[in-house]
Structure 1
Amino acid sequence: MGKSLKQDSVDAWDAYLSTLERNGLADPHWEVESEVQEKLIDYFKAKIDAGVSDGLTSLPERLPSYVHRFPEEMLRAIKSHAENVLAADPNNGAAAKFLAIEAFHKVNTRISSEKYPLLEKTMVLAPNDIEICFFAYAACTRLGDQMQEEALVALERMLERLRGGNHKVSYLWTMRLYTTEVDATPVQNYLRINKRHPVVNRWEAVLNAILVVFENELLQTPDSGVFNIIAHIHEAMGDIEAAQAVFQKIQPYYEERLKQNPNDRTALSSLANIHGKLGNSDLAREYRVKTDPTLAWEGQVLPEFSPVVDLDGKPVWLADYRGKLVLLDFWATWCGPCIAELPNIKEVYEEYHNRGFEVIGISLDSDETALRKFIKENQLPWRQVFDEKGWENPLVKKYGVRGIPAQFLIDREGRVISVKARGKRLADLIEAEIGDNTD
């Protein structure tokens, strides 16, 4: 049965977890006093020595979330012990599990692929361990298409181990397949497969098993997120009628939320999506506009600016730009996504400026000195509207801007082409509008 655990070792592990969680798991490593480190090493050695009992290891839950935050010296000591134990006893599932988790937290794909047999071995040696199956699936999704077969096997094993057990446990584990812990959901993996591939029936069986779990959950606790997942699965499997039936069931839930709060953006965006799926395009657009009022301007002539000035104190009027293609860029130096988009805007500006493309920046900054410094350092050549008012800028209110970056692309007649002119879409829209016209 292995060594008995000392209470102070358990306390050391609990204290270590508390330290990590208090700090938000932000840093990869935390300093641990040598005395505490020794207790933690003893704790894990005993857990590994204990092996598997009743199909489970006694390693702590959610170990994959913590192992890469261990101090290097401590990790090396535990890993070395696990390797020695596994060499002496190839059937020790606890040693295999620790080594598999440690290996798959490395960033080198080749090494991780070579280490996959450890995950396979653990799933066999610990036949009731759900966590290792989930971890194997998550690890395989990080490695992409090359491990898709292994991802399917891990998922099949996980669902098999959940079958017939506590419903709430099944639901919680299945829901984790739709979190940031995995790089590809089961539906995403299914959609990647050629429908003539021999494993397609197995993926469909997996999706049907997931449907059963989520449908059972809805019988107990109606949840909009679960409804959406169910509808998405039906859509992916080509059962549009079933997907629409799910959307119709969830529609009253969001409508009731809107009665309680007419500005509930989650309800508005969900209803826009639902009506889009049900073919109600006018209603879908109505809800999208309520979610993001700027969408109402698409296809419309944008009204003239309220009186505003640029950084040089000169008035800026849209009328002065008639005959040109114009991008209105609502942004700020404190906005990460805005800054990330600037290189793209600069590249497009350099490509198309001589062909009639202009940019007007509308800064929501409040510090003029910092703004000027940023513009100079990043060599932004276009005019900047600035009034120190931030979100109280009159153009923000006039055009219904609720979030930045917001980028309005306006044609030569002043009509809004798009209010989502970002990334590659910006260049595509400009090229379609300007074409070979050099006038």
Structure 2
Amino acid sequence: MLMKCLSLMKVRLVFAIAMLGAMSSATLLAQNAPAGKKGPAASKTDAKKEEKKPIPVPKAVPEKANAKELLTYLETLNDQKSFPEFSDRTELIAYVTQVCQRSVTAGGRAFASAKETKTAVEAVDWVFEAYIVLSRIGNEKAAENALAFAQKISGDKRPEVASLGKRYVIVDRAQQVSFLDEAQQKQLLADVNAYFAGKKLERTDLGIASFIASGIERSRNLKLAALAYGSFAQTFSKAFANEKDAQMVAMISRMQGTARRFNLPGNPIKVSGQTLDGEKLDIKDLKGKVVLVDYWATWCGPCVAEMPNIIASYDAYHDKGFEVIGVSLDNSPRPVAEFLKAKEIPWKTILSQDPTALGWEAPNVSYYGISSIPTTILVDQKGNVVSLQARGAELGRLLKQLLGEAGKAKGAAGE
């Protein structure tokens, strides 16, 4: 489990995986080559084809070598240019396995004898990178051994080394976050925040934070997920206040927005903007009514599929005080206007007027970190959110609860 998230780290051995794919393709081409023609892996003569070549063996770990000499050995051992030619994929896997095993041995020895912190850190990297490749090629013990090594170095007196161990331990726990109970999730969140507070934050840390928060979200614990997204967003927005990488800035912003959205139940929602008709619309003006805020787009199949349910609900409950506000993620008004006309949609739809902030970046969308559509948020008469996903029969159930019985409407929600 640890290995999936370790791919966030720099991996120098990862080319071995690509070689496996290339070897498979070359073998397949050779097997399918027309009679009389040679594929990429075909032998020059039938005699040579039948020759049994010795299986390549990587250079052994030097018995008497200091830490820096072992690191030099590791660079040579893992240099793709030094790899021999292989007759098949099985041979390649066997060779790469030996390379990784010897990398673990050499890296471990280099770490144990390293006098300089920089050397120790590099040795640790080699060990973990070898475990990553071993795991990817099917070694069942790789993840377990990597975790044991991480736990061992977590207590190292050198902060830089201990931090690497703690990171891998946290990543392993993070892989299980969706299956933890609330108390365990809270403990993990506390441990991760303590870990982040004690180190200089890196980009890979943001990836770990996002993975943990989304894992808690998947477990349906939205209150704790809101706390996770919020605390991580605050931590990283401070650490990367001057960050210019647009992707990283957007990731932090989405965390902030998601925290706002998960904190909405029992609180007011902010939705305002210009409709396709050019009118100003603010949900605050609809206080006293039950309002469904529907984040959707014409290109979204599930959104379009949900429309008949919303229309039926609108027909059944509009006279009792039910309104709908559409928030479109389309990039231009034309397809929205055509859709609304064709489907005879009776409610107003907001579309961003800022050409630089459309779709997922539209103000009403990004403010709440909307990451999938349809997202249908239901607001009660007091202006407070009662559901973050009022769809299908659930919409009908909630409307009946808030507005009472309604007259029959063909295809109404919950029927």
Tell me which interval the TM-score lies in, with the shorter structure as reference length.
0.3 to 0.5
Query: Relative contact order (C-alpha < 8 Å, sep 6+): which is higher?
Result: 2
Is the helix fraction higher in 1 or 2? 1
TM-score by length of 1: 0.46
TM-score by length of 2: 0.48
